[in-house]
Structure 1
């Protein structure tokens, strides 16, 4: 769902308009991100712009746009640092772990590459990427969330029926945890504690499961949220969010086998992030 693009620095600095045209196509909510590969990608863009426009007002315009590059457009997805000529290291990395697409001035040298002059609204890489129908398995749920989770410092999982006493919730959460950085914080929001014994029931499930699953430095908080204000299911981070039509549980038995997952618009993600900020704390666990 979220496609990773390798973008050649020299190819996008021909003009400020070209730079803006490219950058505005990216962001987690767009379903496309620029790979921060090599690790000094932004520095290479600066250098390419300075070489192309030294002493011209166009340079100032491009440098200002680089400075305000959206934080969810350029993402580091656990690739090596990479050193050397951009084209050479991208070709090698693309063979090791393929990018979804490569934007370059030399597309003939790399598979799944496109020349920027041919990168218009009709190109397959610019087709709508915001929704995907997936099997309700822990593996598929983790796959569709992985680009979001790999760069997440703070995640909020929202499902009114989330219950770690049930395997159908434990397995997806275990896969989510595998995708997260070691020091990530996870807030899990369930429906408000309306019935006697609900708190103890949820605590028992979490106490049996979480201690042996958490990475060193990771923290999980389980919250009871106001039932009247809660229905939909989300995976939220500080950079993006996903809506799950059925739930954050995998299908078991004769349960609905498929789900539709949708990328949230940024304004909606911001509203939800604020809405799910607190509640009745059930418990805290640390790795």
Structure 2
């Protein structure tokens, strides 16, 4: 759903107007993320600006914008050889795991996906980033559509009224297993996944869910990861708890048909959300929410099968 771009520090940092234009073209809500390539990419951009003689006032703005650009830059543990130049590194990595495009200062780079900063406009096929897309409802396709935003995120909330660990209730564990496996392979930092679903008479109470959860989640959670399950009910006369979302602290998506895997021929519409809107939606499932009411205790499961009610 989101695309990863390699952006040469010199291509974005040496000119204030170019920096200001390009940095606004990226973000989890824009469909484009900048690869943290190398892993001190932000410092390289600042150094490029200093080397180019960018004024102190504009330098301060560059530093501040990079500091608050968490939702724009993604680290997927790419390999970088500091003994060679940035372009050669980018071309090599592109051959191993393709970027959507490589933004660089050299027009002669031997790569069809290489873009100059002036090429970075929405009508360019390699820079165009649709904010909605139909995704095949297979576990891996759903996981792939969510992976980049999950990598950037520090906090993840899955909202699906019908989410259920029990296989007879739908294949919700397949996409979750695939996503967490891809996350663990891409980042050394474990994550907490919070899942919010709607209360129903057919659901087991929290103590029974806690008893069954270790067996139902066996093999799903990588080491260090944990899953938190929250049950909610609607407030009379208030908001319907119907829509499905994948929400994070850096943005989110609305998922039309839900996050359960189905037949490969079926699709679900994934639509990127404005960052502010995503945070408003997350607040509906916060401890002090007045939009929905939490039911009973939440259940926390870790990778070792330990369970806690809280």
Is TM > 0.5 for Structure 1 vs Structure 2? yes
Partner of 2:307: none
Partner of 1:76: 75
CA distance in 1, matches of 2:261, 2:223: 26
Partner of 1:215: 222
Distance 1:121 1:163, change over 3 A: closer
Asked if the contact 1:35/1:76 (under 8 Å) is kept, the reply is yes
Asked if the contact 1:158/1:233 (under 8 Å) is kept, the reply is yes
RMSD: 2.3
Distance 1:60 1:85, change over 3 A: farther
Asked if the contact 1:19/1:62 (under 8 Å) is kept, the reply is no
1:211, distance to aligned residue in structure 2 (A): 4.0
Asked if the contact 1:161/1:190 (under 8 Å) is kept, the reply is yes
2:61 pairs with one of 53, 59, 64 = 64
Deviations 1:44-84 (A, max 9, x none): 1122111111xx62x53034223322211111122124423
1:31, distance to aligned residue in structure 2 (A): 0.2
Partner of 2:301: 285
1:97-246 mapped onto 2 (5 Å cutoff): 97-109=97-109, 110-166=111-167, 168-181=171-184, 183-194=190-201, 197=204, 199=206, 202-203=209-210, 206-228=213-235, 229=239, 230-246=241-257
Normalized against structure 1, the TM-score is what? Answer: 0.89
Count of residues in Structure 1 that have an aligned counterpart in Structure 2: 282
Partner of 1:265: 274
Unaligned runs of 5+ in 2: 288-293, 304-310
1:99, distance to aligned residue in structure 2 (A): 0.7
Larger helix percent = 1
1:240, distance to aligned residue in structure 2 (A): 2.1
1:200, distance to aligned residue in structure 2 (A): 6.0
Normalized against structure 2, the TM-score is what? Answer: 0.83
Unaligned runs of 5+ in 1: none
